[in-house]
Amino acid sequence: MPVHGQVKIRTSAEQKAARERERAEKLQLYLTEYESILNNRQLTDLFALLKQTENTLINHPDCFTLWNIRREVILKLDNDKQKEYLQKELQITQLCLKSNVKSYSCWNQRQWCLKQLKENFDLNLYQNELQLCQKFLEIDERNFHCWAYRYYLLEHLCPSSSSDIETFYDNELTFLRSTIGHNLSNYSAWHYRSKYLDKLLEHNPIRRSNLLLKEWELVLNAVYTDCSDQAAWFYLRWLLFKQLGVESITETEHIKPLEELDEIESENKWCMLALCQLWKEKKINDDKRRNYLERLANHIDTDRAAFYRDQI
Amino acid sequence: MFEGLPREYDVIVVGTGMVESILAAACARNGKTVLHIDTNEYYGAEWASFSLNGLIEWTQMQENPKIDINPQDDTEKILPIGNPLNVFRNVELKWNIEKTNEQTTTTENESIKPITLDVLEKQSRKFNIDLTPKLYYASGGLIDLLVQSNVGKYCEFKLVSRLLFERNGQIDNVPSSRADIFNSNDISLIDKRLLMKVIMNCSSMAIEDLNEEHDIPFIEYLKKQKLNDTLCHLIINSISMVDYNASTKEGIIKAKRYLDSIGRYGNSPFLYPLYGNGEMCQCFCRLCAVFGGFYFLRFPLAGFTIDSLNNQCTGIVSTTGERFRARDMVICNNSFLESVSSNKNVIHRTVLFTNKSIKSSEKEEVTYLRLSAQNKTGIHIIEVGFGPGCAPDGFFLLYIFQESSSENTDEIIEQLLRLTGDNFTRDNILGQLTFDQVDTMSTSSSSSTLSKLIVTHGPDGSIDHDSAVEAARNLFYEIYSNREEFLARAPDPEDIIIEGTDNTDETNNTDETNNTDETSTINTATDDTLATKTNTDTEAL
């Protein structure tokens, strides 16, 4: 222990009190700033307003009104200034996103900036944004804001020539496959996979049976690996009923593997539900279907009893 | 030599191995005055890490002449120490490369000059070679202790990124997480489900759930879950890491530990310290010094002083006759007592210096391969390279050891070479160090015939440190009874207030270490092997 002066260590009660003090100070500061901004809103010194709102937003990125005010101000600027400030805006939102990666208003602001800049479409800009998305996804691969933003970017980056489009879609599907490979609970990844699969099939219907076969293998792999993960099951049902269509569903290829899974995992509600829906569409195993639905309603998933009974 | 060094302490600790260092830190943390010494000129004792030149020197270690000390009066007896380096036997270092390239006049083909020893020696400091290589379970005793005590801020780790096992005459990646199993092309759908089921069961089972149906051997239990031979081997060898005759209880508990550790810092359950395992002892010594412990390396130790009236150990005596007194206890490593030489249990350790990884990869990996079979004990193989700062770029260290030695080193290397095929051959082995390490765990007892002398043991043949941490904890409670806290968390700087100043961000006392001689320092400024961050590959501790 040191020789100079007495050393005291804060107790947890004191730590708590210190934290409370800090929070109260922060709140006070925010309220003062906020009031001041609202008062200044109608004044002509636009740049000062931008500065003020910027300072506040960096600490409190979720304040819708402040972002609104910024949009108002930027639109009032003339064209060259506007472009410059839109670029700056992107940097500011990036700073704010650091403190809250899931801020609705930040992502919204970014998208608004890109929309404003769209007249001078800059490939580099969009590529940079894509890189940024990549970084954010590395931090949290299930950040749905980031996914939605990425989707928006890809819409604009989509090439126009027919041959390029297919490669573009294929690349995206490969990326989604590897994301799912890291974590098959990634609902966003499965969701966007369904979107891109749709697009690809629309663009090139010849590949349909091949692609759908591969998809079926993929999703079957997923539900066998983790039969309680709902993301995979939702995708499975979409694939069967919305993509393949009832006529293309066969007993050997589709129903049997699920029945086998059901044998190993007899109380799995997802598997049972999927089977009930399949049996219904194919008009087979009606007794078994009713039995399963009863069991689901009465024992296995009683919270959703009415849902199951409706299907009987 | 001992000017300025106090002669009386609460605790004197002899040996800077893992158990002793944890104990020294725990005592100092609780306000005891501690003198921590080692007869070596390096920290870590049996757990130390060396540069290449340091290791070569160590293999040529000299025995210090014994000096007899006479008791100073009738009430005193002297217990002389043995040579602590006697725990190492049959130390052999062989090189398969030339010492140096002759200065020939040839100008052709500079690039295919074979590597020579002097080239390696020039890069000596880039090597950090462990005498006792170990891995750290992410949710295991030592990592928890590092986090709880905040000693973790003194060290950095890398994730053991690649786990391998033997399958069909080759070495493959171990699929143990959900993502691994999902992405594997070698397991059928049904097998994936069965494997996941067993894994989830092991993870979620509590000790209380184990009942009579678990009294069967683990391998039978796994077969009952309908797993095929390959998957049974996977779980026994690479997830539970037990021998084939292990009980179900043991298998499940160990599987649980493995599975609980996945995901804490990344997709692997193990960490490996940057710059080698020797760092760990130094981290605990550092904490001890921060709380006022005194350090003295290359201490000229002759023996222990004993009060002959009540057979109590009272302290230590140097070869020059200076005595240092311990009020509460003397803690000393087994290796200093003469009895070690009679011990028969040994761990055979091997370090191979290689210029290629046993399995190629696009990026830097820290690899762990466990080999086992029916009626054989597990063989641990750890490969480290440039990534964790243990070898220069392009070179690797391959550590090989067994839980309890039943196999011959050459046979093990043969087995490994058969598995690696053309990818890694004998030509890639540049040098080989082999030695036997006496397993002092089986002979240690916390109480010797003397009171107030606590004897600690050295490392065992397991892959982790749990036995060392447990031993340290138990010994601490023995000395100070359960009322004292074992390695409480050190306070964060913001929470320390120095009275007499208003200012609440005074720094704490990390800069105050108590040095005596030039020969004993733990000063952070000089030693470039001490890191001060807590970043692992993916997350902070």
Handedness of CA A182, A185, A191, A193 (dihedral sign): positive
Q: Is the pLDDT of residue A307 over 50?
A: yes
Nearest-CA distance from B509 to chain A in Å?
6
Q: Which two tokens stand for residue A271?
A: 């598997």
d(CA B146, CA B326): 28
Q: Percentage helix, strand, coil, to 5, in chain B?
A: 30, 25, 45
Q: CA distances (Å), B61 to each of A100, A234, B54, in order? A: 58, 67, 11
Cβ atoms of B391 and B126 within 8 Å: the answer is: yes
Domain contains A276: no
What is the ipTM score, two decimals? 0.82
**Cβ contact, residue pair A265, B193, below 8 Å:** yes
Of B196, B292, B495, the CB nearest to A226: B196
pLDDT at B341: 58
Domain count for chain A, please give it. Answer: 1
- Give which of B30, B181, B193 to mutate to test A binding, by max A Cβ within 10 Å: B193
Domain contains A81: yes
Reported as a single tens digit per residue, the pLDDT across A219-275 is: 999 999 999 999 999 999 999 988 888 888 888 888 899 999 998 888 899 999 999
Q: Which two tokens stand for residue A115?
A: 């929309």
Cβ-in-10-Å burial (0-12, 13-18, 19+) of B265 comes to buried
Domain contains A225: no
Arithmetic mean of pLDDT, B445-462: 78
Arithmetic mean of pLDDT, A176-192: 92
Q: Is the pLDDT of residue B516 over 80?
A: no
pLDDT at B381: 95
Lowest mean pLDDT among A62-71, B136-145, B501-510: B501-510
**Cβ contact, residue pair B179, A221, below 8 Å:** no
pTM: 0.79
Q: For residue B342, what pLDDT band results from cuts at 50, 70 and 90?
A: low
Arithmetic mean of pLDDT, B276-290: 92
Of A7, A183, A184, the CB nearest to B496: A7
Reported as a single tens digit per residue, the pLDDT across A51-85 is: 888 888 888 888 888 888 888 888 888 778 888 88
pLDDT at B108: 54
Q: Which of B485, B484, B453, B459 is nearest to B471 (CA)?
A: B459
Q: Which chain B residues contact residue A2 at CB under 8 A?
A: 509, 512
d(CA B371, CA B380): 7
Domain contains A250: no
Domain contains A23: no
Cβ atoms of B92 and B433 within 8 Å: the answer is: yes
**Cβ contact, residue pair A1, B193, below 8 Å:** no
Lowest mean pLDDT among A248-262, B79-93, B520-534: B520-534
Q: Which two tokens stand for residue B226?
A: 């309908």
**Cβ contact, residue pair A181, B178, below 8 Å:** no
Enumerate the CATH 3.30.519.10 domain ranges in chain B, comma separated.
Answer: 136-271+344-438
pLDDT at B340: 59
For chain A, positions 244-263, list CB contacts with chain B under 8 A.
Answer: 257, 260-261
H/E element, B182:
helix B178-183
Range of the domain at A93: 29-157
Domain contains A303: no
Q: CA distances (Å), B139 to each of A119, B135, B161, B287, in order? A: 54, 12, 16, 22
CATH number of A63's domain: 1.25.40.120
d(CA B69, CA B305): 10
Of B178, B291, B495, the CB nearest to A225: B178
Q: For residue B296, what pLDDT band results from cuts at 50, 70 and 90?
A: very high
Q: CA distances (Å), B272 to each of B54, B390, B468, in order? A: 21, 11, 17
Locate the DSSP E strands across B39-198.
49-50, 76-80, 88-95, 129-130, 136-137, 157-159, 162-167, 170-173
Arithmetic mean of pLDDT, B195-206: 88
β-bridge mates for residue B350, sequence order: B400, B434
H/E element, B10:
strand B8-14
Nearest-CA distance from A122 to chain B in Å?
34
Q: Give the mean pLDDT of chain A.
A: 86
Q: Is the pLDDT of residue B522 over 60?
A: no
Enumerate the CATH 3.50.50.60 domain ranges in chain B, comma separated.
Answer: 8-88+274-343+440-480
Angle formed by the axes of helices A208-225 and A187-203, nearest 10°: 170
Q: Does A265 touch chain B (CB under 8 A)?
A: yes
Q: For residue B316, what pLDDT band results from cuts at 50, 70 and 90?
A: very high
pLDDT at B355: 93
d(CA B139, CA B134): 15
**CB pairs A-B closer than 8 Å:** 70
d(CA A126, CA A103): 21
β-bridge mates for residue B380, sequence order: B370, B401
Q: What's at B446, amino acid-wise?
A: S
Which option is the CATH number for B8-88+274-343+440-480: 3.10.20.70, 3.30.420.40, 3.40.1280.30, 3.50.50.60? 3.50.50.60
Q: CA torsion, points B52, B58, B60, B66, in degrees to nearest 10?
A: 160
Superfamily of domain B136-271+344-438: Guanine Nucleotide Dissociation Inhibitor, domain 2 (3.30.519.10)
Of B194, B494, B498, the CB nearest to A7: B498
pLDDT at B507: 34
Would you give the DSSP letter of residue A51? H
Q: Is the pLDDT of residue A209 over 50?
A: yes
Q: Which chain B residues contact residue A5 at CB under 8 A?
A: 498-501
Q: Give the mean pLDDT of chain B.
A: 83
d(CA B463, CA B428): 25
Q: Which of A59, A14, A52 is nearest to A36 (CA)?
A: A52
d(CA B337, CA B219): 42
Q: Does A39 touch chain B (CB under 8 A)?
A: no
Of B193, B495, B500, the CB nearest to A224: B193
Provide, rounded to the nearest whole percent, the portion of chain A with pLDDT above 90. Answer: 23
Q: Does A221 touch chain B (CB under 8 A)?
A: yes
pLDDT at B526: 29
Locate the DSSP E strands across B28-87.
34-37, 49-50, 76-80
